């Protein structure tokens, strides 16, 4: 092969004279180009590279034909230098590379809605504060946080899929965005698509209506990382579930990372197909539960620091004690305290905080109160409920206590378990769910639970 830019009869024979009309490249040479791209730039390679039409050369320009505009945009944005290097090595000439859409492709005439992988087309914006550095860990979210960091460090291999679930306002979206931030910063070559489940459903409906299903599948099945928030909204969407099932399989089989969140575990999402439940459970399913008091105080300090607010420790404790359901309430309370302080001296004190947050409500329901009421109604000893006995006569009342505690208090699973001999969160979750399932089928048990709940409330207030 002659040096770059020099005449070579072999090249003229196989690639055509650059001065002549456009000539199709031989299959062997095109295979060499693709092989070099795969060898030297493996992270850029996509499965649909095999579908690219054989290029043609004209006036020293190698025209690579994509099936649709979305593919052409990806090649232009990410693969220009890789294909240029490979084409010059395969031809031995100073050719250039251009990407266009194959007019003969069945996808070429369809405009579609998703024409690129940029920030358009329904991608959710990333909050700059939602990073791992700003996430406060505690017993209620330590597993989810550690797993999220592992996924960000090695997408597609650590935990795939990664499914985070829990009540609203406990940090699921924060973790999903932290992963997205980390991947985009560390692995610029990876395509990370972060959307809501509603966007996925709406795009699928639009693709079906416009006959642009190929563009839809290209957009969702060839990303490196797919992050979907609130996946529970797939419930009762049969066609969307069918499409997501195949999207999931395509991504998973090619070791692309899938990250999902929901307000309940996969098995608790109503009307979700069993095959999807099974796939969601095949990776790591991590619960984010209500934070304990110490974690809530750490969150208040972190939020105050981010907003450059000077908050005394006694105010931190007041806010964390008063608002124990979710993180958004904590942040809202902190903002309100700061706003009230600005109407006066600008200094936050315990008096200002109490004025901002209003009077303390009536006494909160305490788990010892629940223990006493249940022990009396079911004729067992409180010491047995908190002990190690596992007989049916003790286990059942203990599960009732756990159920009532979950219903009437804002304590985390770990905090509830602490009142029952230090049992872990999974035991509390199992016990309370067992009682809830039985109550759905047993009217007498429902009545008993209602009576115990009423008696606990009367004793508390």
Q: Are residues 180 and 259 in the same domain?
A: yes
Domain tally for the chain? 4
Q: The pTM is what?
A: 0.60
Helix/strand/coil percent split, the chain, to 5: 55, 10, 35
Flag whether pLDDT at 157 surpasses 60.
Answer: yes
User: Can you give the pLDDT at residue 105?
Assistant: 54
Confirm whether 2 is domain-assigned: no
- Stretch 116-126: mean pLDDT: 57
Residue written as token pair 């944005």:
77
Write the CATH number for 306: 1.10.8.60
User: Can you give the pLDDT at residue 11?
Assistant: 46
Tokens (6 digits) for 457: 């409330």
User: Can you give the pLDDT at residue 13?
Assistant: 44
Domain end position, chosen among 253, 287, 321: 287
Residue written as token pair 């309100």:
336
Flag whether pLDDT at 14 surpasses 70.
Answer: no
CA angle 298, 303, 304 (to 5 degrees): 95
Q: Are residues 205 and 253 in the same domain?
A: yes
pLDDT one-digit tens code per residue, 73-96: 778 877 888 888 888 888 778 888
Q: Are residues 335 and 391 in the same domain?
A: no
Confirm whether 112 is domain-assigned: no
Q: Rounded mean pLDDT of the chain?
A: 81
Flag whether pLDDT at 24 surpasses 80.
Answer: no
Q: Are residues 161 and 199 in the same domain?
A: yes
- Judged by average pLDDT, the poorest of 7-11, 179-183, 320-324, 404-408 is 7-11
Contacts of 438 (CB under 8 A, 6+ apart): 445
Q: Are residues 267 and 310 in the same domain?
A: no
User: In terms of residue numbers, what domain contains 29?
Assistant: 9-101
- Mean pLDDT highest for which of 4-18, 227-241, 335-349, 360-374? 227-241
Q: Are residues 349 and 387 in the same domain?
A: no
Q: Are residues 387 and 346 in the same domain?
A: no
Contacts of 146 (CB under 8 A, 6+ apart): none
User: Can you give the pLDDT at residue 162?
Assistant: 94
Write the CATH number for 71: 3.30.300.180
Q: Are residues 351 and 381 in the same domain?
A: no
Residue 66: enclosing H or E segment and its boundaries?
Answer: strand 61-66
Q: Are residues 242 and 339 in the same domain?
A: no
CA distance 126 to 229: 12
Residue bearing the bigger pLDDT, 336 or 2: 336
Contact of 220 with 131, CB cutoff 8 Å: no
Q: Are residues 372 and 456 in the same domain?
A: yes
Flag whether pLDDT at 260 surpasses 90.
Answer: yes
Q: Are residues 383 and 406 in the same domain?
A: yes
Confirm whether 106 is domain-assigned: no
- Stretch 291-306: mean pLDDT: 86
């Amino acid at each position: 092969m002659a040096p770059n830019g020099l005449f070579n009869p072999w090249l003229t024979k196989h690639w055509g004279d650059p001065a002549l009309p456009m000539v199709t490249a031989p299959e062997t040479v095109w295979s060499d180009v693709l092989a070099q791209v795969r060898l030297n730039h493996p992270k850029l390679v996509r499965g649909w590279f095999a579908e690219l039409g054989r290029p043609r050369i004209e006036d020293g320009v190698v025209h690579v034909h994509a099936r649709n505009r979305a593919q052409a945009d990806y090649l232009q944005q990410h693969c220009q230098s890789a294909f240029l290097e490979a084409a010059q090595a395969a031809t031995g000439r100073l050719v250039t590379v251009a990407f266009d859409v194959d007019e003969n492709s069945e996808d070429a005439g369809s405009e579609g809605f998703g024409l690129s992988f940029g920030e358009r087309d329904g991608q959710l914006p990333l909050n700059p504060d939602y990073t791992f550095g700003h996430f406060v860990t505690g017993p209620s979210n330590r597993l989810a946080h550690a797993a999220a960091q592992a996924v960000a460090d090695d997408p597609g291999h650590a935990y795939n899929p990664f499914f985070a679930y829990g009540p609203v306002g406990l940090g699921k979206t924060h973790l999903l965005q932290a992963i997205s931030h980390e991947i985009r910063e560390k692995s610029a070559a990876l395509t990370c698509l972060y959307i809501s489940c509603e966007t996925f459903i709406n795009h699928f409906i639009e693709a079906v209506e416009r006959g642009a299903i190929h563009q839809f599948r290209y957009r969702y099945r060839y990303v490196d990382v797919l992050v979907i928030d609130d996946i529970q909204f797939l419930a009762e969407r049969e066609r969307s579930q069918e499409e997501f099932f195949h999207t999931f399989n395509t991504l998973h089989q090619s070791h692309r990372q899938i990250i999902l969140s929901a307000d309940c575990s996969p098995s608790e999402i109503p009307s979700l197909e069993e095959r999807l439940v099974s796939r969601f459970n095949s990776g790591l399913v991590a619960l984010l539960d209500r934070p304990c008091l110490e974690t809530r105080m750490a969150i208040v300090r972190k939020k105050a620091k981010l907003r450059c607010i000077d908050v005394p420790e006694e105010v931190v404790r007041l806010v964390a004690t008063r608002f124990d359901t979710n993180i958004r309430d904590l942040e809202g309370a902190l903002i309100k305290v700061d706003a009230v302080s600005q109407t006066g001296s600008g200094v936050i004190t315990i008096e200002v905080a109490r004025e901002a947050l209003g009077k303390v409500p009536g006494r909160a329901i305490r788990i010892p109160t629940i223990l006493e009421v249940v022990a009396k109604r079911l004729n067992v000893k409180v010491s047995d409920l908190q002990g190690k006995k596992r007989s049916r006569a003790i286990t059942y009342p203990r599960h009732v206590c756990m159920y009532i505690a979950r219903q009437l208090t804002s304590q985390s699973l770990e905090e509830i378990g602490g009142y029952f001999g230090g049992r872990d969160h999974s035991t509390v979750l199992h016990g309370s769910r067992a009682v809830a399932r039985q109550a759905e089928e047993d009217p007498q048990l429902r009545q008993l639970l209602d009576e115990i709940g009423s008696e606990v409330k009367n004793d508390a207030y």
